[in-house]
Amino acid sequence: MIPPENVEDVAVRTASALKLPASVKSEMFVRAYANQQDIRIEIQTFDLEDYDVDGWCVRLGERTYIIFYRANQGHLTFSKRQRREWVKWHEIGHIVLGHLTKVGDTSRMFDPDAPQEQAANEFADAMMAYTRGTLRHDEYDEDHMTFRDARGW
């Protein structure tokens, strides 16, 4: 598992290594990352009103993952589109950061305050900042700026 203090850097370094534009959306990132890692990642929507989460992911096989996200969700500080994108980045973070270590693992197994959830939050925040063009890897300076400074929302 990636140490929490390195999550933001891992997020942007991963996107940069895939040679994706800063405006990359989560689906394009998933296709490129899955291809690079020789894994399969599927993204699906769900509309279960009684579910208490906006998204989750599952490791279905040694090299197969599925991400679910609520299609109709809102948030006080995000538009519905931004919230959906943030949730997808959060779940992608669980995969990229190695949180699902064995077949059958799910992001639902983590307590909301668990280090894995905090790291996935940081990954999502970093990717939202990166994709909004508010921060590029080549401008990142650990001594003078954090991704939190660059979020802008």
Please give the angle made by the CA atoms of 25, 3 and 22, to the nearest 5 degrees: 20
Close Cβ partners of 132 (under 8 Å, ≥ 6 residues apart):
152
Banded pLDDT at 153 (limits 50, 70, 90)? very low
pLDDT at 4 over 60: no
Instruction: Choose the most confident range, by mean pLDDT, from 51-65, 66-80, 131-145.
Output: 51-65
**How confident is the model at residue 123, as a pLDDT?**
93
| Mean pLDDT, residues 104-116 | 89
**How confident is the model at residue 22, as a pLDDT?**
79
Task: Identify the three-state secondary structure at position 117.
Answer: helix
Please give the angle made by the CA atoms of 16, 130 and 24, to the nearest 5 degrees: 70
pLDDT at 149 over 60: no
Q: What sign results for the dihedral spanned by CA atoms 5, 18, 131, 123?
A: negative
pLDDT at 82 over 60: yes
